[in-house]
Amino acid sequence: MPDATATTAPTAPITPTHCPYCALQCGMSLRGEAEAVEIVERPDFPVNRGALCGKGRTAPALLSSRVRLTEPLVRRPATGRLEPATWEEALRTVAAGLRRTRTAYGPDAVGVFGGGGLTNEKAYTLGKFARVVLGTSQIDYNGRFCMSSAAAAHQRAFGLDRGLPFPLEDIPRTGCVILVGSNLAETMPPALRYLTELRENGGTLIVVDPRRTRTAEQADLHLAPRPGTDLALALGLLHVAVAEGRTDEEFIADRTSGWEEARAAAMSHWPELVERITGVGVPQLRDAVRMFCDAESGMVLTARGPEQHSKGTDTVSAWINLCLATGRAGRPLSGYGCLTGQGNGQGGREHGQKADQLPGYRKLDDPAARAHVARVWGVEPETLPGPGRSAYELLDALGGDIKSLLLMGSNPVVSAPRAGHVEERLRSLDFLAVADVVLSETAALADVVLPVTQWAEETGTTTNLEGRVLLRRRAVSPPPGVRSDLEVLGGLASLLGHEKGFPASPEEVFEELRRASAGGPADYSGITYRRIAEENGVFWPCPVQDTAAPATDPQPGSPHAGAPHPGTPRLFLDRFATDDGLARFIAVAHRAAAEETDEAYPVLLTTGRVVSQYQSGAQTRRVDELNAAAPGPFVELHPLLAERLGAVEGEPLAVVSRRGRAVGPARITTGIRDDTVFMPFHWPGEGRVNSVTNPALDPTSRMPEFKVCAVRVERVAAEER
Ligand SMILES: Nc1nc2c(c(=O)[nH]1)N[C@H]1C(S)=C(S)[C@@H](COP(=O)(O)OP(=O)(O)OC[C@H]3O[C@@H](n4cnc5c(=O)[nH]c(N)nc54)[C@H](O)[C@@H]3O)O[C@H]1N2
Ligand SMILES: Nc1nc2c(c(=O)[nH]1)N[C@H]1C(S)=C(S)[C@@H](COP(=O)(O)OP(=O)(O)OC[C@H]3O[C@@H](n4cnc5c(=O)[nH]c(N)nc54)[C@H](O)[C@@H]3O)O[C@H]1N2
Ligand code: SF4
Ligand SMILES: [Mo]
């Protein structure tokens, strides 16, 4: 831990940078080095205005060499154990492992798995490395588990996918916010301020969550549907809006297409039916519509609650339909938005580590996109592989037709659905290489572990949930013995015969990314490190405003360059990004969860987060203060269910599904439905809730059903403890 009493000279340089964790990307400044780094408040950054949550505040603890890896590890055949090695040996072993697989089985036998926490430069380079150096189509990343359903729904309605179409600062000025399955009081604490200000300004807040969370406690109206029924709920609200004459016919006619079909679909979800499916009463449905439509403007914001389902895409479409039908989209202070999750959850899905994608949010199966990116990469378009498998499908294929894996920025042993199976698949690989900051549960299974630099030790850009491209600056020196992910990929590329094209300098990579993204949906070509620094972030799309310059080679400093594009904080005000400029209604109907309760598994399990741990916990479980606040998993359940089970507060309960079992102490509260239990997913071992979760996938987004499955809950007998 950095010691508050450590003596850093007050005159030491202060470097503004950003938190390593969530998509809010709170600004902070750092002063001092290594064990004595301290945070200096950075009130000038508008998103958090200096505020940090406990995770951000304690993030410097991760810089300490006591918790992180500082030398490469190679598994020795003699002992079967990971032991220290030189960088040269480690990189040669990785290159040899990947080459061996490719020679024996072909390029698609090598898999690559990335992460939404990686900077834009890293995500871009990882995608390029997979396609150009390895020649594999088998690359995907953990963002598939995160916001892929919202991304897919965004694309099909608006023709473009950016988390929020407006800056957070618009939220307090709208009339009503429906916040669906987001517990932002715990997952983005500094953002709670926007909701508080909304209510202070006379706006209303509706929260939809099966649990009365700290966020739901702030609401004017809390709807607590049965997990997995948001699709019916949204259709029911649309039905009421139609029945009560609250639709905006002028907006529908001028700015949308497909209303008749969507309307017909909603009309078959009448309120009493929706009440039976969701458990939300008809009067509450009517109240919600009244609150939403009485206001002049309104927003619907979703997070993982309604999205992480095998029908997540259709569910988000249903919420978008509600916005479109009531004219709450494409106008100031109105719209649908998704609260992305990871530090670079937005940018990480734009620049090519996704199975079907090329930089600039281009499609891998679009010939023009292939030609453009191939030109920037200096390769022939035909050499670029096609789209590959989605994250869970890729993990499921390990040891099958994928024999080797390079993994960077994820810890699937803890965070993947049906994690027991995924762990077994990882163990069955011929070769596994992991680049990480710490020895995560997944790194512990690897043949080679590459210790890398992290946030404050390196420069790079991230794109926050608003679509604001930010500069995370290097503020401290990394410990000797670690290298950056870019150096790792460059080193491997050169061992695999690609001397050029994989620079270690983040700014050099960004300059190439600008060219590769130019003319694509997520156009970064007008953004430079300098502009980001001067403007406190730039919103994409931000093309180079110079029609004379060739699109593939924008040169903002050249004599051709026109006035710089200002960036785009607010999208869709004049037109949507579809071909005809109209937003598309998508006709969707409710369907059941992939796994319904029955006699053997009579209870619903849902999963999520607590404020003091982050994701798989690989980072935050190494910070004392956070462990003290959130020491382990728990099973949250209602007193009525507790009574039926004979459960006692604090005593262990086992949650068992068809896939596995997870154990945690009972936490009894009236703030949850009595047909549902909740467990957070931050821990490995017997408390790993992903041993239990269902990998059923959404047909469009390939998102797994993290948020609902059928379980039985049992007391753990004393002799088992
Ligand atoms: N402290 C902390 N903060 C984080 C993270 C973290 O791990 N820890 N991770 C970051 C990342 S990557 C992400 S994606 C975001 C996630 O941010 P959130 O989406 O806010 O987080 P979750 O806790 O996964 O889910 C939110 C809520 O969904 C509810 N829910 C469960 N099932 C359903 C359902 O069927 N319908 C509805 N409407 N709600 C349901 C849960 O009760 C929960 O309160 O957080 C980011 N911030
Ligand atoms: N049951 C359940 N499971 C879930 C969810 C849920 O709600 N319920 N949510 C899902 C969601 S939304 C997400 S986003 C996933 C996230 O789950 P994971 O993908 O496991 O995310 P992290 O724990 O953040 O893993 C990031 C890993 O990369 C390392 N790392 C951090 N920065 C860097 C870097 O710059 N370079 C490299 N090489 N490594 C780095 C960290 O130390 C850590 O080991 O979990 C999913 N799993
Ligand atoms: S809210 Fe997110 S970005 Fe802000 S300090 Fe906390 S973890 Fe970091
Ligand atoms: Mo996420």
DSSP string computed for 287-316 = HHHHHHHHSSSEEEEE-HHHHSSTTHHHHH
- On the question of pLDDT at 552 being above 50, the answer is no
Residue with tokens 């400093």: 557
Reported as a single tens digit per residue, the pLDDT across 446-455 is 999 999 999 9
Atom 16 of ligand 1, nearest CA residue: 341
Distance from C-alpha of 656 to C-alpha of 705, rounded to nearest angstrom? 16
Of all ligands present, the nearest one to the C-alpha of 59 is 3
- By the 8 A CB rule, do 277 and 232 touch? yes
- Cα dihedral 561/565/566/571 (nearest 10): 180
From ligand 1's centre to the CA of 609, what distance in Å? 6
Its sign, for the CA torsion 35, 40, 45, 46, is positive
C-alpha distances in Å from residue 107, one per residue of 383, 406, 427, 489? 12, 13, 20, 17
CA distance 673 to 207: 15
Rounded distance between C-alpha atoms, residue 347 and residue 124, angstroms: 9
Cα–Cα distance, 447 to 97 (Å, whole number): 9
Dihedral over alpha carbons 82, 88, 94, 99 (to 10 degrees): -150
Asked if pLDDT for residue 1 goes beyond 70, the answer is no
- Residue nearest ligand 2's atom 27 by CA: 410
The average confidence (pLDDT) of the chain is 95
pLDDT score for 666: 98
Burial class (CB in 10 A: 0-12, 13-18, 19+), 547: exposed
Distance CA 286, CA 266 (A): 15
Question: Rounded to an integer, what distance in angstroms lies between the CA atom of residue 273 and that of residue 611?
Answer: 36
Q: Find out whether the beta carbon of 618 lies less than 6 Å from any atom of ligand 2.
A: yes
Q: How confident is the model at residue 557 (pLDDT cuts 50, 70, 90)?
A: very low
Amino acid at the residue 36: A
Q: Closest Cα to atom 6, ligand 2: which residue?
A: 608
Contact assessment for residue 447 and residue 101, using Cβ atoms and an 8 Å cutoff? no
Using the mean position of ligand 4's atoms as its centre, give its distance from the Cα of residue 308 in Å. 10
**Alpha helices (runs of H) in 428-577, residue ranges in sequence order:** 485-495, 506-517, 529-535
The residue whose CA is least distant from atom 16 of ligand 2 is 615
In the DSSP assignment, the letter for residue 132 is I
Q: Ligand 2: which residue has its CA nearest to atom 46?
A: 415
Q: Is 441 in the pocket of ligand 2 (CB under 6 A)?
A: no
Atom of ligand 1 nearest to the CA of 672: 42
Residues with CB under 6 A from ligand 1: 22, 146, 180-184, 186-188, 208-211, 213, 227-228, 230, 303-306, 341-342, 606, 608-609, 611, 613-615, 678, 707-708
Q: What confidence tens digit (pLDDT) does each residue in 363-422 have? A: 999 999 999 999 999 999 999 999 999 999 999 999 999 999 999 999 999 999 999 999
Q: How far apart are CA 605 and CA 140, in angstroms?
A: 27
pLDDT the model gives residue 4? 43
User: Which has more confidence, 531 or 66?
Assistant: 531
Separation of CA 124 and ligand 1 centre (Å):
27
Closest CA to 142 of 444, 387, 422: 422
* Phi and psi, residue 286, nearest 5°: -65, -40
Q: Which two tokens stand for residue 562?
A: 């026109």
> Percent of the chain beyond pLDDT 90?
94
Pick the residue whose CA is nearest to atom 2 on ligand 3: 22
Average pLDDT of the segment spanning 43-72: 95
| Helix H or strand E segment including 16 | strand 14-18
- Going from the Cα of 125 to the center of ligand 1, the distance in angstroms, rounded, reads 29
Is residue 702 within 8 A of residue 391, CB to CB? The reply is yes
pLDDT at 551 over 70: no
Q: What is the rounded CA–CA span in Å between residue 457 and residue 503?
A: 17
**Confidence at 174, pLDDT banded by 50, 70, 90:** very high
Q: Compute the distance between CA of residue 210 and CA of residue 226 in angstroms, rounded to an integer.
A: 6
With a 6 Å cutoff on the Cβ, whether 607 touches ligand 2 is yes
- State if residue 437 touches ligand 2 by the CB under 6 angstroms criterion: yes
Which sign, positive or negative, has the C-alpha torsion 301, 307, 313, 317? negative
Query: What distance in Å separates the CA atoms of residue 279 and residue 477, rounded to the nearest whole number?
Result: 55
Would the CB of 470 count as within 6 Å of ligand 3? no
- Cα-to-centroid distance, 697 and ligand 4 (Å): 16
Strands (E), 523-581: 538-539
Distance 419 CA to ligand 1 centre (A): 19
Q: Kindly identify the ligand whose nearest atom is closest to the C-alpha of 226.
A: 1
**Which phi-psi region, left, alpha or beta, contains residue 558 (left: φ > 0; alpha: ψ -120 to 50)?**
beta
Q: How far is CA 32 from CA 3, 14, 54, 429, 489, in A?
A: 11, 8, 20, 42, 29
Q: How far is the CA of 348 from the centre of ligand 4 (A)?
A: 11
Residue 31 has pLDDT above 80, yes or no: yes
Complete DSSP assignment for 250-267 = HHHHHHEE-HHHHHHHHH
Determine the atom of ligand 2 nearest the C-alpha atom of 679. 1
What does the CA dihedral 147, 149, 152, 153 come to, rounded to 10 degrees? Answer: -110
pLDDT at 562: 66
Residue nearest to atom 5 of ligand 3 (CA): 56
Helix 230-243 to helix 312-325 angle (10° resolution) is 20
Indicate if ligand 2 lies below 6 Å from the C-beta of 438: yes
Average pLDDT for residues 533-551, to the nearest whole number?
79
What is the reported pLDDT for 425?
98
Query: How many Cβ atoms sit within 10 Å of the Cβ of residue 646?
Result: 9
Q: How far apart are CA 348 and CA 330, in angstroms?
A: 25
| pLDDT tens figures, 62-76 | 998 889 999 999 999
In tens, the pLDDT along 466-521 reads 999 999 999 999 999 999 999 999 999 999 999 999 999 999 999 999 999 999 99
On the CB side of 438, how many CA atoms lie within 13 Å of its CA?
19
CB atoms within 10 A of CB 428: 12
Ligand 2 pocket, residue 606 CB under 6 Å: no
- C-alpha to C-alpha distances, 579 to 160, 543, 576, nearest whole angstrom: 11, 19, 8
Cα–Cα separations (whole angstroms), residue 544 to 187, 361, 468, 523 = 35, 17, 17, 9
Ligand 2: nearest atom to the Cα of 458: 35
Q: How far is CA 658 from the centre of its chain?
A: 27
448 strand-pairing partners? 74, 433
Structure tokens at 720: 């088992």
On the question of pLDDT at 628 being above 50, the answer is yes
To test the ligand 1 pocket, which listed residue (607, 609, 669) has its Cβ within 8 A of the most ligand atoms? 609
Q: In the numeric block, which tokens belong to residue 62?
A: 């991760």
Question: Kind of pairing, strands 298-302 and 256-257?
Answer: unpaired
Q: ∠ CA(671), CA(676), CA(678), 5° rounding? A: 70
Tokens of 258: 């497909």
Can you tell me which atom of ligand 3 is nearest the CA of 53? 6
Once rounded to an integer, what is the mean pLDDT over residues 144-148?
97
Q: Is the dihedral of CA 663, 668, 671, 675 positive or negative?
A: positive
What pLDDT is recorded for position 34? 74
pLDDT above 90 (res 10): no
The alpha carbon of 459 and the centre of ligand 4 are apart by a number of angstroms equal to 22
pLDDT at 553 over 50: no
Distance 75 CA to ligand 1 centre (A): 36
**Separation in Å, CA 697 to CA 506, 585, 594, 595:** 35, 23, 9, 12
pLDDT band at 560 (very low <50, low <70, confident <90, very high): very low
CA of 616 to the centre of ligand 3 (A): 16
In testing the pocket of ligand 1, which one of 55, 148, 183, 682 has its CB within 8 Å of the most ligand atoms?
183
Q: What is the mean pLDDT of residues 602-630?
A: 98
- Return the pLDDT at 561: 53
Any atom of ligand 2 within 6 Å of the Cβ of 146: yes
Nearest in space to 535 (alpha carbons), one of 44, 50, 193? 44
Q: Give the mean pLDDT of 598-603.
A: 98
CB 680 within 8 A of CB 607: yes
Pocket flag, ligand 3, residue 537 (CB < 6 Å): no
* Strand partners of residue 299: 177, 335
Closest ligand, as measured to the CA of 123: 2
Q: Which two structure tokens, joined as six digits, stand for 636?
A: 């949250």
Instruction: Return the amino acid letter for 113.
Output: F
Give distance in angstroms: CA of 465 to centre of ligand 3: 12
What is the C-alpha R_g of the chain?
25
Query: How far does residue 621's CA lie from ligand 4's centre (Å)?
Result: 17
Evaluate if residue 684 carries a pLDDT over 60: yes
Whole-angstrom Cα distance, residue 706 to residue 319? 20
pLDDT at 563: 83
- Ligand 1 mutation pick, 19, 22, 230, max ligand atoms within 8 A of CB: 22
Closest residue by Cα to atom 24, ligand 2, is 615
For residue 459, the CA-to-ligand 3 centroid distance in Å is: 18
Kindly indicate the confidence band of residue 35, based on its pLDDT and cuts at 50, 70 and 90: confident
Sign of the torsion formed by the C-alpha atoms of 355, 360, 365 and 370: negative
Nearest ligand for residue 454 CA: 2
Question: Is 344 a pocket residue for ligand 2 (Cβ < 6 Å)?
Answer: no
Q: Please give the average per-residue pLDDT across 247-253, as a whole number.
A: 98
455 CA closest ligand 2 atom index: 35
What is each CA distance from 465 to 12, 344, 558, in whole angstroms?
32, 8, 32
Q: Would the CB of 188 count as within 6 Å of ligand 3? A: yes
* Average pLDDT of the segment spanning 70-84: 97
Please report, to the nearest 10 degrees, the dihedral formed by the alpha carbons of residues 324, 330, 334, 340 taken in order: 90
Residues found in the chain: 721
**In angstroms, rounded to a whole number, what is the distance separating the alpha carbons of residues 371 and 8?**
52
- The pLDDT score that the predictor gives to residue 41 is 95
Nearest CA to ligand 2 atom 4: 415
Q: Whose CA is closest to atom 8 on ligand 3?
A: 56
For residues 446 and 255, what is the distance between their CA atoms, to the nearest angstrom?
52
Q: How far is the CA of 144 from the centre of ligand 4 (A)?
A: 9
Diameter over CA atoms, the chain: 79
Among 55, 187, 193, residue to substitute to test ligand 3 (most atoms within 8 Å of Cβ)? 55
Q: What is the mean pLDDT of residues 563-586?
A: 96
